[in-house]
Structure 1
Amino acid sequence: MNWTDERVELLRKLWADGLSASQIAAQLGGVSRNAVIGKVHRLKLSARGRATAAPVRQKKAAPASTGTKVAARAAPASRPMPATIGATALQAMFEVEPVVRQVVRPVENVVVPISRRLSLIQLNERTCKWPNGDPLTEDFNFCGNDSLESGPYCSYHARIAFQPAAERRRHR
């Protein structure tokens, strides 16, 4: 099927009249709905979205004899929905209160130890194995301070590496 000048003009007219792509395809004949949509996009014809969303219907109040469950279900239905234009449903703006996050600062004074700057060969079971820098550079080294008996790091680096589960949840 070729798009002749006459068919393109008819497409423009039908599109401006507000017909759907399926209706236009049926009137043109020999063309699919998707072909009409593609041609509309290539011609950069104006998008024709709905002016507003469908109005919200109010549900009738439930009789008192039906119980509270029906009345409870009817309450959220009266909530106003945001209006969208065209295919902008994902752009609907909802009023949301911002989440306030507190920054937790350590209570004690933190003293960063001076690194002994040991190489991999100089490490032993009693030295801190906290890496400093990029391993691909020549100035890469390890902390090298005295490590705790329970792990591979000094007391400073152990506090960084091992946080209690409650603190990890709080930082998220």
Structure 2
Amino acid sequence: MNWTDERVEKLKRLWAEGLSASQIAAQLGGVSRNAVIGKVHRLNLPGRAKAGGSATSTRAVKRPAPSARPANYPARSVTRTVTRTVGATALKEEIDIAAEEIEFVPPSNVVVPISRKLALTDLTERTCKWPMGDPLKDDFHFCGVDASEASPYCGYHARLAYQPVADRRKAAVRV
């Protein structure tokens, strides 16, 4: 099946009238619904909202009640512009996102090892390979404290690198 100028004009007219791709295919004859959709995309015809929803509808953002939030977790609302597609049309809409600032309080019973400040060439199988600083700067080094055979890091850095899954999920829920 060839797309003649007359068939393309009829497709554009039927699309603008709001007919579905299946209805257009039936009226044109000799063409499938997918062929109509493909041609609509290639022609960059404007899309339409899907049935059951509005193209500009936004979802409500759940925010915890102020009383449910500890005093040291101030909430703020951030407006972001997001792009989503409906059919062949990309829509931009602004949505409000509730964000909470979390104050990090390190545990008081943690002993931080004193770094031996080793260069890459000085590392062995039994030294901590935790990078420290900016790799592009001259003062970049590795921790270098004794590490166990089972880990490339010392005990302190291993706890930082390998966090239990439950703790990561709790942190992700807070954000």
Q: TM-score, normalised by structure 2?
A: 0.49
Instruction: Give the number of the structure whose residues are more often helix, by fraction.
Output: 1
Q: Could you tell me the TM-score, scaled by structure 1's length?
A: 0.49
Higher relative strand content = 2
Greater Cα radius of gyration, structure 1 or 2: 1
